[in-house]
Structure 1
Amino acid sequence: MASGLRDVTVYLVVLMAISTLGPLQFGFHLAELNAPQDVITCQSKQSSTIETLVSYVINKGTADPDASTNKLSECIPMTPSDFAAISAVFTVGGLISALAAGPFTSDRGRWLPMQITAAFYLVGSLVETFASSVLIMALGRFLNGLGAGASTVIVPLYISEIAPPKQRGFFGAFTQISINLGILITQTLGYFLSHDAAWRWILAIGGVIAATQAVGLLLVPESPAWTASATGDRVRARRVLQRIRGKHANIDEEFEALGAGDGKLPGEEEALLLAAEGFEESTDANAPPLNVPTLSPPPIILHLEKPHLGFAQVVRDPLYRPAIVAVVGIMFAQQLCGINSIIMYSVSLLRDLLPTSSALLTIIISVINLGTTIAGSPLPDKFGRKACILASIVGQGISSLTLALSIMFELKVLSAIAVLLFVAFFAIGLGPVPFIMASELVGPEAVGATQSWALGASYVATFLVAYLFPIVNDALNKSLGGAGWVYFIFAGFAVLWAGFVLRNVPETRGKKDADEVWGRTRRTD
C-alpha cells in the first residue's frame, strides 16, 4: 500500500474530500434524530450548561431561555409511529433517487448529479430546521433522502473512476468512512444540543455542509472515464486523468483500460493535448524527446462500443443478472444484519440498560465505527472483498447473539462490549465493501444501472429496519417478556446471508474486468 500511495496527488485528495461530502451527509441525516428523539417529540425537556448561550443566539440577544418558544417551537408533538414514519421517509426518498441516479449519471455524467444532490441537501436541511409539524419535518427528511440516495450511487462510481486502479478497494472505503464521519458529527452535536429548541442547530449545520459541497464542486472535474466512454472526448479525458495522476505520471495503460484504444492518441489529438498542457512540438531533429515516460507496447485488445444499459435492461440480460443478484443480496445483508438498529435507535434502545451513558456510548460507537473503517480500509485489497464480507457477517451474527443474551440477563458491561463489537465487525466488511462491488462485477456499460439496483436494494432494506425495528422490538418485548429478543432475529439473518455470499458473490480482488471475475470470454455481440 505504501508504494501505491506514490500515485496519490494533492489534487486527488482534494477531489476525494469534496466528492465524499455527499455520503457524509447521508450519514449525518441518517442519524440526526437519534440523540434528540425525546426532545423533538416532546417526551422530555433536557437542559445543558450551554442552554443559556444557545437560547441567547437563537433569540438574537434575548437572555430569557423561555423566549425561544416565540420564535421556534421547542418540540413537535408526535406519536412513536409518527417518529418512525419520519425516520423511515428518509429512506423512501433515498430509494427513489437511487433508482433514478444510475441511468441519469450514465447519460449526464457525475458532476451535474453531484451538484443536484447538494441542492436537495440544502433545501431539505432548511425545511427540517424550521419545521413546526410532522408533515413539514417529513418533507425535509424526504428531500434529504433524495440527496442521500443519489450521492451513494454517484460518489462510489466517481471515486472508482479517479482512484489509482491498484488501490480502488482502499479508496472505495472512503464512501463508508465519510458516512461514518457524518454519523459521528451528528451524534456528537446531539449529545450537546438535545435540549429545548437547540436541536434545530443540528439540522441547520446540515445546510452548512450542503452549501460547502456545492461551492467545492466547482473545483471538481467530470470523470475522465465517463468523458472518454460517453462523449468520446479523449483529449479532455486524458488531460483530466493526467492532472489527477500528476504531470509526469505515465497513464498510457490506465487510459487504455478506459476503452481508449492502445492508450495513446492519434497524432492530431496528441498535438492538441500537448498544446493544452503547454508543450510545443520541436522541429529540431537533434532536440531531445519530450520527458514523457513510456511503457512497452500493451497487448492489442478489441474494444467494442456498447450503449449504456438501463435499469430494466441489465436484469433482463442473462450476462448481467448474476451481478444484479450478487449486489442486491449483499446490500440486503448490509442492512438486515442489523446495523441501523444501532445507528438510528441506540440512545432509546440502551437507555433503560445504561440510563446514565447511552448518549455517550452512542458517540463511542460512532468513533469505533469510523476508526475501524479507516483502519480496515486496506483489508479488501489485501484479503479480498468476499473474505471481508464473510468475516463481517459472521462477526455481526455472533455479536447479535451476545447482545440479545446480555440484554435479557441485564449484563450491562457485556451489552456495551457486544454493541461495540457489532459496529466494529460491520466496519471491516459490510460497511465499505458493497459500495465498490457494483463497479467491479459489470462492465462500464452497465455500472450505472447496477449501482442503482444495489443502492435501491439498500434503501428498501434500510426502510424495513428503520420502520419495523421499533415496532417489532416493542411487540417481541411485550409478548415474550423482557428485552433483547429482536437481536436473535438479526443473528438468524447473519446465518442466512453468510450462506448467500458463499454461493452467489464472486471474488473481484485482482481481476482486471468483469469477464475475468465471472470466468468468461469477452462477449462480441
Structure 2
Amino acid sequence: MQNFSPQAPSVPALSDFEVSDNAGRTLWLAAAVAAICGGLYGYDTGIISGALLLITRDFHLGSLYQELVASAILAGAVLGAVGTGWLSERFGRRTSVMIVTAVFVTGALACAAAPDVDMLIAARVYLGLGVGGSTQVVPMYISELAPAARRGKLVTLFNVAIGIGIFVANIIGFAARDAWGWRPMIAVAALPAALVFVSMFFLPKSPRWTAENEGLDSAVTHLARVRTSRKEVRKEIRRIHEAAEDVDDAHRGWRGLMQPWVRPALVAALGVAFFTQCGGLEMMIYYAPTFLSDAGFGHSSALLASLGVSMVYLVMTMLGSAIVDHVGRRRLMLIMGPGSVASLLGLGLMFAIHPDKGSVGSWMIIVFLLMFMAFNSGGIQVVGWLLGAEMFPLSMRGTATSLHAATLWGSDLLVTSTALTLVNLISLGGTMWFYAGVNLASVAFIYFLVPETRGASLEDIETALHEGRFRPTRGHTAIVET
C-alpha cells in the first residue's frame, strides 16, 4: 500500500480549495435529513402494531393473514436492501437516498388506498423496497460523510429516528385510531418522505464514492463542505486516495467479499445483524398489543403499554447513540446483553403462570417487557446498524452493506412471520424463553468474534483487515488505539 507524506504531490486536488464556514452544521444537517428515512422505517413498521387491530376488523383476518400483513413489508425490505446496493454503487449514495424516499411516498399512498387485504399485502411488499433500501444506503451515506470521532453518534441518528418513528406511530395508533382509521394512519408517512427527497438535492455527496467515480476534485469539494479545517481535509482525502489506489477488480463487489482477509468483518457484521433482529425486539414492536390482549389486558391498556414500549425504545436508543463513541460498540453490547436475557426469562415466567388481571404478576409482565426493551434497544439495536456501515472496505462497501441489510431484514422476516406460530406451538412463556436463549448466544458471539472499532477511521479498519488485526482484544481496546 502506498504511503503519502504531508507534502506528497500525488493528490493535485488538494492544491486549491476552501472549507465551508458552516461545515459542522452541514454535517449534522446531512446526517439528520438522511436519518429521517429511519423515522419512516420506524413509522411504517410500527404503525402496523395499532393498525393491525383495525385492519383485522375491517378485512376479518385470521392469524395467518395477520402475519402476512405484518411481515409483507419485510419481504420487500430484503429485496430492497439487495437492490439498493447496486444503485448506491452505480448512481451514488445521495441519489439512492432520493430513490428510496420516492418509493416511501408512493408505497405509503398505495397501502392507504388498498381495497382489500391482498392489495394491502402487495403494497406493503412494495413499501418494503424503500424501507430495506434506506437501511442499506443511509447508514453508509452518513458513515462516509462523518469523521471517525463522531461516526458512531452520527450514524446512530438513524437508530434514534427509527425510535422516533415507532413512538409517533404508537401515539397515532393509540390516540387517532377511532378518529382517523387505519388508512390515514398509513398515508401520513408520505409527507416526511417527500421532504427528504427535496432536501437531498442541497446536501453533499459521499466524498468516498465521488473519489472513486467522479475524481478527487469532486471528492475534495464535497468533503470540504463537512470538515472544519483544510488540514483535516488534506489528511482524510489522502487516506481515501491511498485506499482507492490499492484496489483492483478482484477486491470489488461480490468477488471482494469472498477474499479471506474480509471474512472476519463479514462474520462479525452479519452475525450481529442476525442477533439484532432475532433477539425478539421486532416481535415485541409488532405484536405487543396482541400478546398483552391474549394475557388479559384490555384493548386500550394493550395499546397504551405498546406506547410505553416505543417510548423506552426511543429513550434508550438516544442514550446509546450519545455514548457509543465513548463506551465503544463491543462494550456497550456486552454490558446490555445479559440484561436482555434476564428480562426475557422473567417475562416468560410471568406469561407461564398466567397471573390474574390486575394482580402484581400481571403488572410484572409490563415491567419485564419494558426492561427487555431498555436493555435491547440501548445495546445491540444501536450497534447493529452501525457495524455494517463501518466495517467493510470502500471497494465492496455497497455490496457488503446490501448483504448486511438483507441479513437484518431476512432475520426480521423470519421472526415476524413465525412469531404467532411459535406462540401456538410452545406457548407465550416458552417463546420468551426461546428468545432468552438467542440473546445469550448473541453475548457469546460478540465476546469471541466482534472487535472494537471505536475511534478508528474507515481506512484504519480496512488496514486492520489487510494486516490481520481485525479481532477482539483484551479490555475491549479498539483495533486502532486512540
Which amino acid in the other structure matches residue 368 of structure 2?
A
| 2:409 aligned with 1:464 | no
CA distance in structure 2 between the partners assigned to 1:489 and 1:326 by the alignment: 23
State yes or no: 1:399 paired with 2:343: yes
Query: Which residue of the partner structure matches residue 340 of structure 1?
Result: 282
Pairing partner for 2:81 from 78, 88, 98: 98
- 1:488-514: per-residue Cα shift (whole Å, max 9, x none)? 000111122222222222221233422
> Does 2:392 correspond to 1:447?
no
Q: Is the 8 A contact 1:76 1:132 kept in 2?
A: no
Cα contact 2:50–2:173 (8 A) shared by 1: yes
What amino acid does structure 1 have at the position aligned with 2:352? Answer: M
After TM superposition, give the deviation of residue 221 of structure 1 in Å: 2.5
What's the offset of the Cα at 1:389? 1.9
**Compared with structure 1, are the counterparts of its residues 308 and 127 closer, same or farther at alpha carbon in structure 2 (3 Å cutoff)?**
farther
Post-superposition CA distance 1:367-403 (Å, at most 9, x none) = 1211111122133222221111222322211111111
In the alignment, which residue of structure 1 is the partner of 2:450?
505
Give the letter for the 2:343 counterpart.
Answer: S
Give me the whole-angstrom Cα distance separating, in 1, the residues matched to 2:251 and 2:172: 42
| Residues 121-200 of structure 1 mapped to structure 2, 5 A cutoff | 121-195=104-178, 198-200=181-183
Instruction: Tell me, yes or no, if structure 1 residue 21 matches structure 2 residue 31.
Output: no
Q: Relative to structure 1, is the Cα distance of residues 183 and 465 closer, same or farther in structure 2, using a 3 angstrom cutoff?
A: same
CA distance in 2, matches of 1:380, 1:369: 16
Conserved in 1, the CA contact under 8 Å of 2:40 and 2:165? yes
User: In the alignment, which residue of structure 1 is the partner of 2:24?
Assistant: 9
Q: Distance in 1 between matches of 2:309 and 2:250?
A: 41
Give, as a single letter, the amino acid of the residue that structure 2 aligns with 1:125: A
Unaligned runs of 5+ in 1: 1-5, 43-74, 262-300, 478-482
Q: How does 1:364-513 map to 2 (within 5 A)?
A: 364-409=308-353, 410=355, 411-477=361-427, 483-512=428-457, 513=460
Aligned counterparts, 1:6-405, within 5 A:
9-42=24-57, 75-195=58-178, 198-232=181-215, 234-246=216-228, 250-259=232-241, 303-307=245-249, 312-351=254-293, 352-355=295-298, 356-405=300-349
The higher radius of gyration belongs to 1
Asked whether the equivalents of residues 99 and 452 of structure 1 are also in contact (C-alpha less than 8 Å), the reply is yes
- Number of residue pairs aligned between Structure 1 and Structure 2: 439
Aligned residue type for 2:455? G
SS across alignment from 1:228: helix
TM-score calculated relative to the size of structure 2: 0.86
Task: Give the counterpart letter for 1:242 in structure 2.
Answer: A
Shift of 1:418: 1.1
**Structure 2: tracts of 5 or more residues without a match:** 1-20, 356-360, 470-482
CA distance in 2, matches of 1:302, 1:366: 42
SS at match of 1:214: helix
- Report SS of the residue matched to 1:357: helix
Distance 1:455 1:521 in 2: 25
Cα deviation per residue 1:167-204 (whole Å; 9 max; x = unaligned)?
A: 11111211111111111111111112223762211111
Q: Distance in 2 between matches of 1:493 and 1:456?
A: 20
1:222 match: secondary structure = coil
Change (3 A) 1:361 1:517: farther
Name the structure where helix makes up a greater proportion of residues: 2
Instruction: Give per-residue Cα distances to partners, 1:2-49, cap 9 Å, x unaligned.
Output: xxxx9972222221222112121111111111112222111xxxxxxx
Residues 113-162 of structure 1 deviation map (CA, whole Å, 9 limit, x = unaligned)? 11110111111111111112111101211111000111001000111111
User: Are the equivalent residues in 2 in contact too, given 1:86–1:138 (CA < 8 A)?
Assistant: yes
The answer to whether the Cα contact below 8 Å between 1:403 and 1:419 also exists between their aligned partners in 2 is yes
Give, in whole Å, the separation in 2 of the partners of 1:246 and 1:519: 30
SS of aligned partner of 1:141: helix
Q: 1:308 touches 1:445 (CA, 8 Å); kept in 2?
A: no
Note the C-alpha offset of 1:448: 1.4
Deviation digits for residues 417-454 of structure 1 (CA, Å, limit 9, x no counterpart): 11111111122221121222123322211211211121
**Residue 443 of structure 1 aligns to which amino acid in structure 2?**
P
- Opposite residue 358 of structure 1, the aligned amino acid is A
Is residue 393–residue 430 contact of structure 1 (8 Å, CA) maintained in 2? Answer: yes
Do the aligned residues in 2 keep the contact of 1:11 with 1:244 (CA within 8 Å)?
A: yes
Instruction: Look up the match of 1:61.
Output: none
- Per-residue deviation, 1:108: 1.7
- Take 2:231 and 2:188, find their aligned partners in 1: how far apart are those partners? 40
How far the C-alpha of 1:302 sits from its partner, in A, is 9.8
Query: Which amino acid in the other structure matches residue 382 of structure 1?
Result: H
Which amino acid counterpart does residue 455 of structure 1 have in structure 2?
A
CA offset digits 1:71-112 (Å, max 9, x no partner):
xxxx22322211211211111111011112223312221122
Gap change, CA 1:120 and 1:506, over 3 Å in 2? same
User: Partner amino acid for 2:32?
Assistant: A
Tell me: CA distance 1:20–1:511, structure 2 relative to 1, closer, same or farther (3 Å): closer
Task: Measure, in 2, the Cα distance between the counterparts of 1:476 and 1:196.
Answer: 38
Q: Indicate how the Cα distance of structure 1 residues 511 and 12 shifts in structure 2: closer, same or farther if over 3 A, else same.
A: closer
| SS state at 2:50 partner | coil
The 10-residue stretch of structure 1 (402-411 or 453-462) with the greater mean CA deviation from structure 2: 402-411
